Structure 1
Amino acid sequence: MTTLDGREVYSRRDLMARYGVSLSSLEDWYRERRWTGHPEAAGKKGLELVWDANEWDQWFEARNSTAHLVSRADLEERYGVARSTLERLWALREENGHPEPVKSLDRVMYWDAFQWDTWYADYKKRAQRREVYLDRSGDPDDLLTLADVARVLGVTPVSIGHYPKRMPRGWPQPVEEEELPSGRLRRWYRRADIWSYAENRTAAGPHRARNPGGKPRSGEAPEHP
């Protein structure tokens, strides 16, 4: 146990070893202590911040209790995240591991604050590492429809159906275009160009680019994969 002026204290390394909490969670809790209630540091041991052991244990026990619940409104205020983003994270819970609510009251869901905070810290960390599914099989020169591209990226065709019109940063130009009897355009993309897009896209997700060609072509219907 680390000591400071004769009293027991925790460094972040001590807390990671004792409680199995990630460094990113510890840093987020302290940085956002206005909302989390995290204790103030007791001082420094060398170059590391340390916290009074008894005070931290009591805070963590209270925080880990299921009695400490937060709603979406609480999370909006706490993290400055838009409600639409919180709703999207919940809708995609099977993909991102979003925790289940502890209870619902008057159609409002409540989550355990410790569980949600821990999940969100890990979610942000994974996003920063740009963990992206990418199917590497196939010939780089293969030409792919938008539906084929969705399979390569591991997403649903609907989620990228608007990309040809509202291109995210780095989205490639089609190699070929074919007008269908319905009047729609079917676009073909080179597999290697899709791989490059997936490798370079930012962790923040797609960014709409300015339309380099000005207004969409008159009468062009939305593309379907």
Structure 2
Amino acid sequence: MKSIGGRQWATREDLIAHSGFSRATLANLWAARETNGHPAPLTVDGVVQWGVMHWDLAVWTDWFEQHRRQERAAPDVESRVDRTGDPDEELAPAAQARLLGVDPSRITQYDKKPPPGWPAGRVEELPTRVRRWRTRRQLWDFVDANPSFGTTGGRPAGPATAKKPDPRVQYAVAALAADPGKKAGELAAELAREHGQSITTWKSIVTEARKRLQ
């Protein structure tokens, strides 16, 4: 991290360490900058400085916190997303639609005209067409980077009475995967600061997350 005039300038690696979010999530946030307002990197006459992008850490942090608040303020969208299962499992288009809680036609539309941050996936050549496989992690990262996803078009899949997955468990799973040696109390405190609610609540969520990683 570089310091100029008392301000810190962070690379993407610095932002990963600072935020605790994955490289894919932060890359998707940058890809969707025209719609989510992601801050611009330091440039002089349009040229990126130091050969790699650096962002004003204070500006980026303020923006990121606002972005997360907006994301959490859309529970009807988040509740459609299935946050369970193996993050690295590849899904066919129909299963992708079920995970995202949208009509399968939405996946076809996205493949033809991808929105910012939509993962390319693995291409399988079929006799008359191609099929794109994507992992759960890729789809979750896309949703995390696009809080407005799902507000227009499409419809939730499955019966209305189906139990809604708890996104907080996935937040805890991601945090545990990033730092598996961290004590439950310390991790719960960090998650409480980032997402709200009590440390006691997050301890229970961390316990559930550990079970899913076993």
Report if TM-score (shorter chain) is over 0.5: no
Q: Which has the higher helix share?
A: 2
Q: Which has the higher strand share?
A: 1
Q: What is the TM-score of this pair, normalised by structure 1?
A: 0.34
Q: What is the TM-score of this pair, normalised by structure 2?
A: 0.36
